Amino acid sequence: MASFGLLLAFSWCAMRCQLDVLPLLVTLSVMGLWQGVRPLAQRDGPRHWLAAVGVLLAIVSIVNSTLVALSVNSARFAIIRLLSAGP
Give residue-wise pLDDT tens across range 29-70: 888 888 887 887 777 778 788 888 888 988 988 888 888 777
Per the CB < 8 A criterion, the answer to whether 51 and 37 are in contact is yes
Give the ranges where 1-87 is alpha helix by DSSP (H): 2-37, 44-72, 74-85
Q: d(Cα 82, Cα 74) in Å, to the nearest integer?
A: 12
**73 vs 55, more confident:** 55
Mean pLDDT calculated for residue range 19-38:
81
pLDDT level of residue 86 (50, 70, 90 thresholds):
low
User: Do 46 and 40 touch, CB atoms closer than 8 A?
Assistant: yes
Distance CA 46, CA 37 (A): 9
**Mean pLDDT (the chain, rounded):** 79
User: What is the rounded CA–CA span in Å between residue 8 and residue 44?
Assistant: 51
Q: Are 33 and 50 within 8 A, CB to CB?
A: yes
For residue 21, the model assigns a pLDDT of 78
pLDDT value of position 87: 62
pTM of the model: 0.54
Residue 71: pLDDT band (50, 70, 90) is confident
* Domain-wise residue ranges, the chain: 2-85
First to last CA, the chain: 38
